[in-house]
């Protein structure tokens, strides 16, 4: 056998190695237990892959993003094998790795019960322990069809591969080019235990799945279309170690504690009375206090940035949405109309833009007025499908902090740049720091306007986005029907991303509504329109902030900023005086004069996540002082009242977290 020369690449370091021809990646990384696959010439391969002369080989370790995905993909196979062991009639769908885990879809006679899932997890554990080998085998389409005659969904995927090439939804199973089947072989006898159509790669044996858990089951449409049959999907997770799995489960528990629906009830912020209807929230006094601060600060900043405030009604005749085109696209998502005034259809308003356009159109407009920036906290109603309403993040009645900017063509680049800067600046003031931008382009098949208009609008947005010194991600086909959009994606305190602000360039509605202004040369010109929501919706942004801060809002946003806690009843009047001083300066302060003991009052305020507790007993009273207790449990005693007031005011005015 001849020798071949290969390059082992580790990060920036490359190492030349001479090995026997036919040497596998596994042999190359012999003894490196964390290596579970390799990238050969840029393509992910099994460790059993034989190397060829000139190959550049990179190890893929189990704790890398690619490595985890491979472990999860392999674990999905094990779960599928377990399911078919326990439910021989189950037909396989697809089973890809996803963020933090994997799923596998099955066509089964009845949905899985919690007990079924326990049994599946147990069986999967046995399979993992048995150390079955993942063995790759290239097959022709016809061979695959013959072998998988009992797996109708797999057959369909093979058909997709030959017709559509690299179909995204089928890619994990069949990939592009050659078709492969992975056999799971018994380590001792070599006997075939299970097999699945799959592109791979996989870990060498099931023992290379260090830690996993079956999480839940849910229905999912085959190939993501509601016209297709529903399959039963099992979600699971897998990690490089038991510790990593534990940490992940801990993260899930933390996220659950931050759930805004839970915090909303615990902190008495809002509720969804069933008497009102799904997706229709009421804000309680404390939630109302937060909203008011959010809105007031936003208003102030909008005034500073040259916006003008408008107000528009909540219902309208259908004409508006016929002209705008919303009725063509979104009639299903609107509340059905009421017939009034002898036959006119009145709709609850699902969008503010047409109304703002009518304000623009209410009189002749001059170029001197542009850019005209109209802003409104506009409440709209959308008939979201019953299965999708979710806390405050997906509701049926919502308030957009909606602005429409009307400007001349040559003002667009400057206006887009400044609105992006404005948006990002304001989001930072609310405590979000980590952003990236997403550019959504024309949605195929459901868009109005010419290719040229779309291209121009998209390019304008791209230029504005590229000036912001932020990562820009493309979202092909994700735009609205009337124009492309930039969305601002923000990461929260536990690393989840939320789509917040959207900025859209719209060439269409100004045409549809025949908007004009008079230019300097006396001609009539068509204005350009930018749609912009900053929070997106107040309700949703409220929820995001609540989860970001885990309910412990920074003092400027906290519904109750200060609670006075007397050591005994005698000290209530003294604290009432302190509270009055704070209240005069606009601080939201309460004195707990209940007949609870002082310790209990501290506990109560702590659980309500109040930023400042001010305690006062004889010692403080005699010195004209108060004692601070902060949310983290630390305290500062004997602070002169004026100093305490000044400190609280300072923190609130600077909008910092404590």
Partner RNA sequence: GCCGGCGUGGCGCAAUUGGUAGCGCACUCGACUUGUAAUCGAGCGGUUAGGGGUUCGAGUCCCCUCGCCGGCUCCA
H-type alpha helices, 449-493 = 451-466
9 catalytic per annotation: no
In this complex, which beta carbon is closest to RNA, that of residue 6 or of residue 639? 639
Which region among 11-19, 61-69, 384-392, 643-651 touches RNA (by CB under 7 A)?
A: 384-392
- Token pair recorded at residue 364: 């002749």
For the CB of residue 48, give the shortest distance to RNA in the complex, in Å: 33
Question: Binding RNA by CB under 7 A: which of 59, 101, 279, 431?
Answer: 279
Q: Which of 286, 531, 571, 601 is catalytic?
A: 531
The interface with RNA within residues 286-325 (CB under 7 A) comprises none
In this complex, which beta carbon is closest to RNA, that of residue 484 or of residue 527? 484
The interface with RNA within residues 518-547 (CB under 7 A) comprises 531
The interface with RNA within residues 414-443 (CB under 7 A) comprises none
Q: Report which DSSP code applies to 487.
A: E
632 catalytic per annotation: no
For the CB of residue 655, give the shortest distance to RNA in the complex, in Å: 24
Residue 2 CA: distances (Å) to CA of 5, 18, 53, 55, 513: 10, 10, 10, 15, 76
33 catalytic per annotation: no
Q: Report which DSSP code applies to 371.
A: S
Cα–Cα distance measured from residue 582 to residue 416, given in angstroms and rounded to the nearest whole number: 41
Residue 505, strand partner residues: 530
Q: Give the chain's count of helices (H) and strands (E).
A: 20, 33
Which region among 66-74, 229-237, 447-455, 578-586 touches RNA (by CB under 7 A)?
A: 229-237
Which region among 197-205, 222-230, 337-345, 431-439 touches RNA (by CB under 7 A)?
A: 222-230
Q: Which of 84, 215, 232, 400 is catalytic?
A: 400
For the CB of residue 240, give the shortest distance to RNA in the complex, in Å: 23
Rama region for 279: left / alpha / beta (φ>0; ψ in -120 to 50; rest): left
286 catalytic per annotation: no
497 touches RNA by CB under 7 A: no
User: For 460, phi and psi rounded to 5 degrees?
Assistant: -60, -45
Rama region for 620: left / alpha / beta (φ>0; ψ in -120 to 50; rest): alpha
389 touches RNA by CB under 7 A: yes
Kind of pairing between the strands at 133-139 and 179-185? antiparallel
491 catalytic per annotation: no
For the CB of residue 75, give the shortest distance to RNA in the complex, in Å: 18
485 catalytic per annotation: yes
Q: Nearest CA to 534 among 400, 437, 440?
A: 400
Q: Report which DSSP code applies to 442.
A: P
Cα–Cα distance measured from residue 355 to residue 361, given in angstroms and rounded to the nearest whole number: 10
Question: Binding RNA by CB under 7 A: which of 248, 297, 330, 367?
Answer: 330
407 catalytic per annotation: no
Cα–Cα distance measured from residue 45 to residue 38, given in angstroms and rounded to the nearest whole number: 5
The interface with RNA within residues 593-622 (CB under 7 A) comprises 594-600, 602-603, 606-607, 613, 615-621
User: For 339, phi and psi rounded to 5 degrees?
Assistant: -90, 120
394 touches RNA by CB under 7 A: yes
Residue keyed to tokens 């085109």: 325
For the CB of residue 1, give the shortest distance to RNA in the complex, in Å: 50
The interface with RNA within residues 36-65 (CB under 7 A) comprises none
For the CB of residue 253, give the shortest distance to RNA in the complex, in Å: 14
91 touches RNA by CB under 7 A: no
- Token pair recorded at residue 609: 């996540």
In this complex, which beta carbon is closest to RNA, that of residue 40 or of residue 591? 591
The interface with RNA within residues 100-119 (CB under 7 A) comprises 111, 113
Catalytically annotated residues: 353, 382, 400, 402, 404, 485, 531
């Amino acid at each position: 056998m001849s020798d071949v020369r290969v390059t082992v690449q580790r990060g920036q370091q490359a190492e030349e190695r001479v090995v026997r021809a036919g040497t596998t990646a596994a042999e190359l990384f012999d003894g490196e237990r964390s290596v579970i696959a390799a990238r050969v010439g840029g393509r992910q391969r099994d460790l059993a892959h034989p190397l060829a002369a000139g190959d550049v080989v990179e190890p893929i370790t189990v704790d890398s993003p690619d490595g985890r995905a491979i472990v999860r993909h392999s674990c999905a196979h094990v779960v599928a094998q377990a399911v078919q062991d326990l439910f021989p009639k189950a037909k396989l769908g697809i089973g890809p790795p996803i963020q933090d885990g994997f799923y596998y879809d099955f066509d089964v006679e009845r949905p899985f019960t919690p007990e079924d899932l326990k049994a599946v997890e147990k069986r999967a554990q046995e399979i993992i322990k048995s150390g079955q080998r993942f063995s790759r085998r290239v097959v022709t389409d016809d061979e695959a069809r013959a072998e998988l005659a009992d797996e109708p969904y797999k057959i369909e995927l093979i058909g997709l591969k030959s017709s559509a090439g690299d179909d995204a939804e089928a890619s994990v199973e069949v990939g592009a080019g050659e078709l492969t089947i992975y056999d799971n072989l018994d380590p001792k006898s070599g006997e075939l235990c299970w097999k699945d159509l799959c592109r791979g790669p996989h870990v060498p044996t099931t023992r290379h799945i260090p830690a996993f858990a079956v999480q839940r089951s849910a229905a999912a449409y085959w190939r993501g279309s509601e016209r297709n049959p529903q399959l039963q999907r099992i979600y699971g997770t897998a990690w490089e170690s038991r510790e990593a799995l534990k940490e992940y489960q801990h993260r899930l528990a933390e996220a659950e504690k931050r759930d805004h629906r839970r915090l909303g009830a615990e902190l008495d912020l809002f509720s969804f009375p069933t008497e009102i209807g799904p997706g229709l929230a009421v804000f309680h006094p404390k939630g109302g206090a937060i909203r008011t601060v959010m809105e007031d600060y936003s208003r102030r900043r909008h005034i500073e940035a040259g916006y003008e405030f408008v107000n528009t009604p909540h219902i309208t005749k259908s004409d508006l949405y016929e002209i705008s085109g919303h009725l063509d696209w979104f009639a299903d998502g609107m509340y059905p109309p009421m017939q009034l005034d002898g036959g006119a259809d009145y709709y609850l308003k699902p969008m503010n833009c047409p109304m703002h356009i009518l304000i623009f159109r209410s009189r002749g407009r001059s170029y001197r007025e542009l850019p005209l920036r109209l802003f409104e906290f506009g409440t709209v109603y959308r008939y979201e499908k019953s299965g999708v309403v979710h806390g405050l993040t997906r509701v049926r009645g919502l308030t957009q902090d909606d602005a429409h900017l009307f400007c001349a063509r040559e003002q667009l680049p400057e206006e887009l740049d400044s609105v992006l800067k404005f948006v990002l600046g304001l989001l930072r003031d609310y405590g979000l720091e980590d952003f990236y931008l997403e550019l959504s382009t024309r949605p195929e098949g459901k868009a109005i306007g010419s290719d040229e208009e779309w291209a121009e609008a998209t390019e304008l947005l791209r230029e504005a986005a590229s000036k912001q010194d932020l990562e820009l991600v493309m979202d092909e086909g994700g735009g609205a029907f009337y124009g492309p959009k930039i969305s601002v994606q923000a990461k929260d305190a536990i690393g989840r991303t939320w789509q917040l602000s959207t900025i859209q360039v719209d060439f269409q509605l100004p045409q549809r509504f025949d908007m004009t202004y008079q230019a300097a040369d006396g001609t009539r010109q068509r204005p350009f329109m930018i749609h912009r929501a900053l929070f997106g919706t107040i309700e949703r942004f409220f929820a995001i902030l609540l989860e970001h801060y885990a309910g412990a809002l920074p003092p400027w946003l906290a519904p109750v900023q200060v609670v006075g806690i007397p050591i005994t009843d005698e000290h209530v009047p003294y604290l009432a005086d302190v509270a009055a001083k704070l209240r005069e300066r606009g601080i939201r302060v309460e004195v707990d004069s209940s007949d609870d003991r002082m310790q209990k009052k501290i506990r109560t305020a702590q659980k309500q996540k109040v930023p400042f507790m001010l305690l006062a007993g004889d010692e403080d009273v005699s010195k004209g002082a108060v004692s601070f207790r902060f949310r983290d449990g630390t305290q500062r005693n004997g602070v002169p009242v004026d100093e305490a007031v000044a400190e609280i005011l300072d923190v609130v005015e600077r909008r910092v977290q404590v």
